[in-house]
Structure 1
Amino acid sequence: MKQALFIIDVQNEYFTGVLPVTYPAGSFENIKKAIDRAHDFQVPIVVIQHVNPASEAPAFRKGSPGCELHDEIRRRPYDLLIEKTLPGSFTGTALEPWLKEHGITEITIAGYMTQMCCDTTARQAFHRGYAVNFLSDATGTLAISNAAGNISAADLHTAILITQQMRFSRVMKTDEWITGL
């Protein structure tokens, strides 16, 4: 199988903006490690950037500092940059034609947020027939509280990983994925 590594939404909003990722500790280091090893092994790297086109958007507003890729991601090599406006990386983007053109049959998910864009993209990939790996220690989230209730970052992350492993993805640690390259 020919694979690609997806780096989803590793943007300033999750470090210095209104949505600071807190769990798991070390996720950013593992994201960087995954990129570096993918590059070493010539695994194509797709960087995905979330953009909110609304001029009044509180987060990910196009052109805002929070919307920008983190410097550590921007300066690393990648093969494709996809800009998306919805949680799924396949929706309204040129991602799938690029994957088909390059013969990609397996994708590996890393980035932010576990329960939103990472989960949605993994499910979309599975529904399209791709084999999916989901890096448990190179994805991350934060505690959420809304009208439906509240949940800790650890519980939310774990719930998504369990659900992914049930059907959609092979959940694994970054080092385990690297060993298989």
Structure 2
Amino acid sequence: MQERAMITVISGTEQVVIVLGTREGKSMLFMLPCILFDTGITILILPLVSLRGDLLRRVWTPHETRTAPLVFISAEAAGTKAFRAYAYKLAATSDLGRIVLDEAHFIMTASEYRAAMVDLALIRGFVYLIATLPPTLQAQFEVQNNLINPKIICALINRRNLFYIIERVTGPRRLLEKGARRAKDAWEGS
């Protein structure tokens, strides 16, 4: 699926939703186009501070005039007039290759308490990178992001090393006690 996703990203297709599991190469989808000839500038919106810490090499700031093949920006900065002017300028000069939103599920899960995530839905032409998007939430994701027939590339995201336990617990504080005991046992490897 990574190859199919890469071809789609490089082709300039707009409204692409790419669902690849953790460690399945989503970062390559925005890094590789940056080193290829004539693929334009990639703007990567990173909604999490921890992601910025991992990837940060170049930060866009208001009144930026320099160009680079990969520009990192926070979700908050992406909603500003200054950023829109920067992106429009790149698009007008055919220098903008793509705008990539990493961890795109935050548009759905963080929009209640983080206004910047709601503002991202107003930007058109994203490549949305997501580690998990259950089929039951796909339609909601499309509506919330104003997508019209997006190209969906979805790998199998089943993780064999994860499992669920459903257990009924009754009584005051029993759920908390039982959960704490299970977490401790798992941590200690029992």
TM-score by length of 1: 0.43
Structure number with the higher strand fraction is 1
The higher radius of gyration belongs to 2
